[in-house]
Amino acid sequence: MRTFTLIGYPLGHSMSPFIHERLFALSGKKASYTLTELPPDALAEKIPMLRSMSGFNITIPYKTDIIPFLDELDETAERYHAVNCVHTRDGHAVGYNTDCTGFLRSVEKFALGGRVLLIGSGGVGRMMATEAVLHGASLTIVEKDIPKAESLAEELHAVRPDAEIRVLDTAPIEAFDLLMNASPVGMYPNTDRCPVADDVLTRCDAVFDVIYNPTETLLIHKAKALGIPAVGGAAMLVWQAVRAHEIWDGDSYAPEDIAKIIADMEAEINRSFPVKEESV
């Protein structure tokens, strides 16, 4: 039986096995999908094991750290400088970024090319920032690690020299077409946290939160209460997994089957990780 895994740290909240097992079942493929939790600095010693698999996924904090261990990068991974999916064949490991597929499907109704406020500049944040500037956004990046964000800004200007980009350590109180949270603030179990202050949120026309656990973060809850269109990360997670199966096996799926997986996954998250009422 072919084997696949997700590497990252920590992984206690992960729904990846739930999603990938459903996708393998839909395509009639026999394969196992597991979680491989790697503590900091443990990545290198696991590379031989990972290469022996048919493929694997990568999440925080290894989306950029994995790159030196790969033989080749797809143009998506090159573009975003982050890898979340690897296909191994005959000892050759190729890195891809499938987060972009899930992300673009999630925000297709929002003004990605307008005034965009991005919280966080890690692996997924880099991808989101790149897509924003490629769509013509005026981008504000909020990041406590200013040198890290400034490095990202330089990379973005290499992609689009005329891009309007500024880096701040605190979210400004001004109008934005879209607020995007690419930070882990608000993720289970710390569900009582919000990445921006209320006076920032009230000036945003739409919200996207990459977090999928809980299915409705405090940020999403507050946005909806204010009548602001808001989307969480569940659909992005499933659609990026679909793209991984397209890469690994060339599979395709009916939209209604994917919608069912998204709904079932959200129900499973809500059952397995109940959020206290005072968190929202």
Which residues share a beta bridge with 229? none
Residue (of 123, 94, 7) closest to 57 by Cα position: 7
CA 268 to CA 21: how far, in whole Å?
A: 14
Q: Which of 29, 30, 46, 63 is catalytic?
A: 63
CA 74 to CA 220: how far, in whole Å?
A: 33
Q: Running DSSP on this structure, what letter comes out for residue 185?
A: T
CA 127 to CA 48: how far, in whole Å?
A: 28
Q: Catalytic site residue 224?
A: no
Question: What is the side-by-side order of every strand in the sheet holding 178-181?
Answer: 164-168, 138-142, 115-119, 178-181, 207-209, 230-231
What does the CA dihedral 186, 195, 211, 235 come to, rounded to 10 degrees? 140
Helical segments of 160-214, H only: 198-201
CA 153 to CA 141: how far, in whole Å?
A: 9
CA 120 to CA 251: how far, in whole Å?
A: 33
- Most distant pair of Cα atoms in the chain: their distance: 54
Residue (of 63, 62, 55, 59) closest to 24 by Cα position: 55
Per-position b or e across 105-141, b if 16+ CB within 10 A of its CB: bbbeebebbbbbbbbbbbbbbbbbbbbbbebebbbbb
Active site residues: 63
